[in-house]
């Protein structure tokens, strides 16, 4: 049966197109998709209520600004009020508006509380982009236990809680999209990133299993997309010598490709696309060969060996901000542009948005 299908010229052509698309040599054929591939900047996302975790910096910020410009109703969660203010200012400059919320992703109850506040402000959420992550950048035995726990809370456990908060309404409407920003680190072992690699592999397993569960339960209108990018760098910096062969990816281009994948309802995206073929040695060669290839790609991911002009592992403002401890009597303070969860009995005013300074370029994985 299979050979008979492959003998048909049309099927041979579609198979060839699929292969070429996977290595990003040609755009995806309309015969292989329900939605035609178009410029990410030309798609209108009106009617989409989007939540982005870690949305105030790096890739999260780029996604928020681009989706806002495409008429999506965007809510971003982060721990840094200053970064939220700066992102809100940028949204006004490029066109669009984002709703900003402070949220500690290590606190499950706070996630649920901010989720309810978000729904009351923007309506039922139709898309969740689990983007927030942190990394220890230390050898396994040098990594403190509390930092390992924090990495798992932010990088994977928060995916469970954010998805649980918004998925029921998506299932009821049979419409929605869960996007997981994982990493190529989830497919390979990288020294000094033991906890990070483990969480990224877990994120891949989570979203893949969730997709299967949704399909088996008849909720085929709720889509999932797994995004696995290589190292990323801020657009304003040059390439670091820490990456030996493959140059770091531009954050803006990663955001564009992610939006394209959302439009096309792609299940899994590798960046660069040919990396899926580069992973083959992992399965067909001795482990020593795979380890050698990783060492050839990545010299050392730790900050102490990266110069100031090169990419480093993504480190959210979360790691530089005091942890927000959950409280039952949490209140919400408002400004014209930002809604932020605080843990005091009285709302605490945010800095004047007009006085906010532009944020320094952030280094990403």
Please report the pLDDT score of residue 309 as a whole number.
31
Residue 4 has which token pair? 């008979």
Please report the pLDDT score of residue 297 as a whole number.
61
pLDDT per 10-residue tile (average), the chain, 365 residues: 56 58 46 39 79 95 95 96 94 89 97 97 97 90 95 97 98 96 83 90 96 93 94 52 62 94 94 74 64 61 40 35 34 45 38 35 41
Please report the pLDDT score of residue 352 as a whole number.
36
- The rounded distance, in Å, linking the Cα atoms of 25 and 10 is 20
**At 205, phi and psi to the nearest 5?**
-65, -40
**At 66, phi and psi to the nearest 5?**
-70, -45
Q: Which of 101, 153, 196, 230 is catalytic?
A: 196
Query: What is the C-alpha end-to-end distance of the chain, expressed in Å?
Result: 44
Helix (H, G, I), strand (E, B) or coil at 239: coil
Please report the pLDDT score of residue 160 as a whole number.
98
Domain boundaries, given as residue ranges, for the chain: 45-355
Please report the pLDDT score of residue 125 as a whole number.
97
Predicted TM-score (pTM) of the model is 0.71
CATH fold, domain 45-355, is Rossmann fold (3.40.50)
- The angle subtended at Cα 89 by Cα 236 and Cα 325, nearest 5°, is 95
Instruction: Tell me which long-range contacts 106-111 makes (C-beta under 8 A, separation of at least 24).
Output: 106/150, 106/153, 106/154, 106/158, 106/323, 107/324, 107/325, 107/326, 108/157, 108/161, 109/326, 110/324, 110/326, 110/330, 110/341, 111/158, 111/161, 111/162, 111/165
Please report the pLDDT score of residue 272 as a whole number.
81
Please report the pLDDT score of residue 314 as a whole number.
38
Please report the pLDDT score of residue 95 as a whole number.
85
Do the beta carbons of residue 65 and residue 83 sit within 8 Å? no
Please report the pLDDT score of residue 308 as a whole number.
32
Reply yes or no on whether 196 is catalytic. Answer: yes
Closest residue by Cα to residue 259 from 59, 84, 94: 59
């Amino acid at each position: 049966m299979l050979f008979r299908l492959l003998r048909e010229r049309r099927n041979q052509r579609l198979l060839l197109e699929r292969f070429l698309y996977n290595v990003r040599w040609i755009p995806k054929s309309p015969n292989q998709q329900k939605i035609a591939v178009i410029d990410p900047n030309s798609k209108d996302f009106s009617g989409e209520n989007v939540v982005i975790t870690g949305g105030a910096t790096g890739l999260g910020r780029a996604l928020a600004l681009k989706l806002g410009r495409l008429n999506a109703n965007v809510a971003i969660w982060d721990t840094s009020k200053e970064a939220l203010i700066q992102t809100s200012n940028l949204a006004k400059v490029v066109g669009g508006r984002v709703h900003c919320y402070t949220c500690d992703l290590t606190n499950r109850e706070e996630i649920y509380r901010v989720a309810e506040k978000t729904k009351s402000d923007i309506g039922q959420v139709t898309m969740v982009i689990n983007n927030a992550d942190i990394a220890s950048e230390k050898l396994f035995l040098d990594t403190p236990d509390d930092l390992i726990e924090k990495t798992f809370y932010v990088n994977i456990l928060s995916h469970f809680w954010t998805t649980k908060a918004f998925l029921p309404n998506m299932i009821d409407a049979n419409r929605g999209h869960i996007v997981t920003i994982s990493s190529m680190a989830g497919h390979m072992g990288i020294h000094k990133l033991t906890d990070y690699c483990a969480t990224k592999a877990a994120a891949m397993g989570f979203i893949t299993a969730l997709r299967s569960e949704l399909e088996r339960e008849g909720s085929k209108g709720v889509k999932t997309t797994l995004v696995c990018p290589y190292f990323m760098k801020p657009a304003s910096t040059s390439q670091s010598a820490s990456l030996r062969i493959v140059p770091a990816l531009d954050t803006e281009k990663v955001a564009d490709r992610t939006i394209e994948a959302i439009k096309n309802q792609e299940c899994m995206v590798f960046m660069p696309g040919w990396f899926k073929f580069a992973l083959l040695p992992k399965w067909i060669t001795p482990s020593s060969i795979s380890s050698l290839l990783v060492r050839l790609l990545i010299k050392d991911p730790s900050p102490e060996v990266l110069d100031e002009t090169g990419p480093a592992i993504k480190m959210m403002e979360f790691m530089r901000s005091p942890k927000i401890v959950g409280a039952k009597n949490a209140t919400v303070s408002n400004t014209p542009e930002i809604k932020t969860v605080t843990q005091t009995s009285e709302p605490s005013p945010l800095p004047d948005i007009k006085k906010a300074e532009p944020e320094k370029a952030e280094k990403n994985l």
